Amino acid sequence: MGRTDRTLRRALLPATLLLAAQLATGCGSDPDPATRAAPGPAARTVPVEATDGRIGVLLLGELTGPRMCTASVVDSPRRNLLVTAAHCVQSAERGSFDDLVFAPGYREGRAPYGVWPVDTVTVDPRWVASEDPDYDVAFLTVDEVDGLRIQDRLGAYRPGFGLGFDLPVTVTGYPHGSGAPVTCSARTTAQSATQERFACSGYTVGTSGSPWLTAAGELIGVIGGYQEGGDTDAISYSVAFDQRVANLYHRAAD
């Protein structure tokens, strides 16, 4: 996410996190006034007892490696699929990463549900070719841990395709500056025919890839897309989960 109010914070990150921050945040300019929405509520920290194991962090290499983005488990026939933003896992400058791991339910440096190695990454060719923000979505498969597939261990969110805009959603993600996730609820609005937005403050570096969930548990977006998710911490964007995303999902899941 390319949020300009967080560029100074990047200077304070340890050197080992700088690459992760660049990939997870981008380097956008001030947001276009025409795209600004009215301020929304503030995200709140998720209590320990409410932490959802289906949402976690992507890291490089191991649990103690640099934190990249947020990801979540999405229902699939093979029961081993995650979803996040494409800019978290693939960029024109760095290519794709081969050593990502997923820590579901991450809390204060701990992984209560284990660390799951990422096996495959599926992104749209149009993202690979030009980082087209309309294709800033990625699906990842993870290996089994202790003989179990991740969905069998933790459950998964149902993908919701073609549901449109103006939907109440809850968005939960992991800012790099916190050992705990934050969450907020608001309604989606249309940014364009292919992009949607969500107004809640507190979605800073590390929250790219955070799932947008309806009350029925349908996953209809992830922070990413326009401005790689937003140029301020108060307005977040997602690619609309339409037929394009459904096609990508089936490529990864089937």
Per-residue H/E/C for 152-183: HHHCCEEECCCCCCCCEEEEEECCCCCCCCEE
The domain made up of 4-253 has a fold known as Thrombin, subunit H (2.40.10)
CB 158 within 8 A of CB 164: no
Residue 38: predicted pLDDT:
57
| Cα 125 from Cα 114, distance rounded (Å) | 32
Residue 95: predicted pLDDT:
82
Structural tokens at position 12 = 């304070």
Residue 39: predicted pLDDT:
65
pLDDT under 50: residue ranges of the chain: 1-37
Report the SS3 class of residue 234.
coil
**Can you give the residue ranges of every domain in the chain?**
4-253
Check: pTM over 0.75? Answer yes or no: yes
CB 216 within 8 A of CB 178: no
Structural tokens at position 251 = 């490529």
pLDDT in tens, 226-249: 999 999 999 999 999 999 999 999
Taken in order 175, 178, 183, 187, is the CA torsion positive or negative?
negative
DSSP secondary structure, 53-71, as one string: TTEEEEEESSTTS-EEEEE
